[in-house]
Every structure is written in C-alpha cells, then in structure tokens.
Amino acid sequence: MSKQGLRFARENPHIVEASQAFIQKFDSVPDPVVKVASLAENEDAQIAWVLLGSVLYHGLTYLQVLSVLEALFKEFPNKKLWETPVPKASELKSVIKKALNNESWALLEHAPGMFWSVGFFVRRHFPLKTWLDSRNEEELWRDLGEIYFMGKKSIRPKVISTILRIKNKPPLGLGLSVHEGKAISFFPISMGSRRFMGFMGPRKDGDFADWTPEKKLVEVNDWYKIVSPKAREKAAHGFSFFLEPGQNDFLCQEIMKSCEACPLYCYCSYGRKS
C-alpha cells in the first residue's frame, strides 16, 4: 500500500469519508456498456455486446459511449453484431458519427475494425457462455487479446474492464460466474479517478499527471483499497463520474441534481452553489 496514500488518509479522514459517501451515490447508476449489453436477448449476446462496448470505450465520455452503443444496438441488434455478411465500414461510421452528433473521435476510422474483430471473435468462440465457463480469468485475459484494439501489452485495461463487466453484479456487470485466476490484480483507472487523484486526492500537490501509466495504476488502486477495501469495483465505478463531462455540466452534478448534494462539495474547487 502506498505510504503517501496511507498518510493522506490519516491526515484527511474527512476526505476519505466524503469519498466513501461519493462512490455510494453511484451504486445504482449502471455502467454504460453493461446498460446496453443487458438489452440483448440472451447471455451469449450480452457477453458479445460487453466485448464490443469495452473495446470501443476509448477516448469517449460516459454519455458518448452510451449513445454510440445504443445506436449500434438499434441498427445491429443482438446477433447482428457477429452474423455475416458484416456491415460496411461506411455504414458503421455513419451510425457512430450520428450518435456523436458529428463530434470528432480519434478512433473513428478504427471502429469498423473493432466491430468486425468482435464479430470474428464471437463466431470463433461461440457459444460465448460455454467459452466463458471453460476458462479462468487468466485464460480469458489471453483470449481477449485476439480482439483488435483490446490491447497486447502486459497491462491490458480494456481486457480487465471486460472481465469485470462480465462478472460484477448488476448494474456494474452482467453478474455471470467467472472462474478465478491471476489476471485481475488491479482495477482500470478512469479519467474521473485520475482527476480525483490530481485535484483532490493523495497526489493533489504533486506531478501525478506526469507519472507513467503503470505508476498511476498502482497509486489509484491503493486509493480504491483505502476507501472501499471490500468492494474496489464500487470505488472504480464511482470515481469514474468525478467531473466527467455530462450533457450540459459535469455528470456527477447532473446525476446528483446539484453540486451542494455532493459529499465532496466542500473540497471541490469546481463545486458551485445552485
């Protein structure tokens, strides 16, 4: 456990308590990928849509990825994700651009490849529930590397996010059984978690933004253990909403209806009175 994190927690118990109350506010707010995947007709389709959502959730906000997935699911529901013939690249990009209101997305040109790659993966490992039941976490981690843009390095945040979305209880996940393994030793860190650490948390007075991804991963996960030792997934989920862009304001403010309703309001430099 990080000495800095433990010292910060001892010196700032009010921040720890407020952080715990903050993450509890989002216990019932669904993960955007799981929200759409749960619409699918059966477990195989739900897993497939978790795969797609997890690989697409890159450089997009909560509301953006939700909009993109809802649009894709409406246009290519359930097994249309993996059935052949596959959609044309122009069709996929058109759906996504419309869902994003023509806002730019750096990975737009790669999105069709992600869609096709998930479809190929599903066809190769179908039925997915059988595939899931035959693997442990470490084997899932290995297999999921087959998907385009899912990650090939030793640290694969998207892969870990995928496994968590499959196994976590609703509304954070599908609640499916996964055989334990050594794959999940950390929880991926969202932009919200990074913002909290740099603006208000243990690294607010340091150069957290300049740290390596690996170092950030360790530090943030240590903070998750401090504020939610028995359910780190809830800390990871809750902090993802911290100062996340919403429809017209910060998403945390829009969900809570006002900044003053937020447990972190007194310590947040972005907090505003109604």
Residues 85 and 209 in one domain: no
pLDDT, position 203: 84
Q: What's the rounded Cα separation, in Å, for the pair 145 and 149?
A: 8
Q: Give the range of the structural domain holding residue 80, as residue numbers without chain letter.
A: 32-167
pLDDT, position 130: 98
Per-position b or e across 209-239, b if 16+ CB within 10 A of its CB? eebeeeebbebbbbbbbbbbeebbbbbbbbb
The answer to whether the CB of 155 falls within 8 A of the CB of 213 is yes
pTM higher than 0.85 = yes
pLDDT, position 1: 63
- Give the containing element (helix H, strand E) for 101: none
Residues 42 and 23 in one domain: no
Locate 65 and state its tokens: 């990825």
pLDDT tens-digit readout, 92-136: 999 999 999 999 999 999 999 999 999 999 999 999 999 999 999
Residues 81 and 206 in one domain: no
pLDDT, position 183: 58
How many angstroms from the chain centroid is the CA of residue 9?
Answer: 25
Which of these, 197, 128, 203, lies nearest to 166 by C-alpha position? 128
Residues 200 and 134 in one domain: no
* Other residues' Cβ atoms within 10 Å of the Cβ of residue 173: 23
Q: What's the CA angle centered on 188, arms 43 and 25, to 5 degrees?
A: 80
Helices assigned H by DSSP within 135-250: 137-144, 157-167, 191-199, 213-227, 232-239
Which residues does the chain have with pLDDT short of 50? Answer: none
* Other residues' Cβ atoms within 10 Å of the Cβ of residue 123: 11
Residues 103 and 190 in one domain: no
Q: How many domains does the chain contain in total?
A: 2
Task: Report yes or no on 41 lying in a domain.
Answer: yes
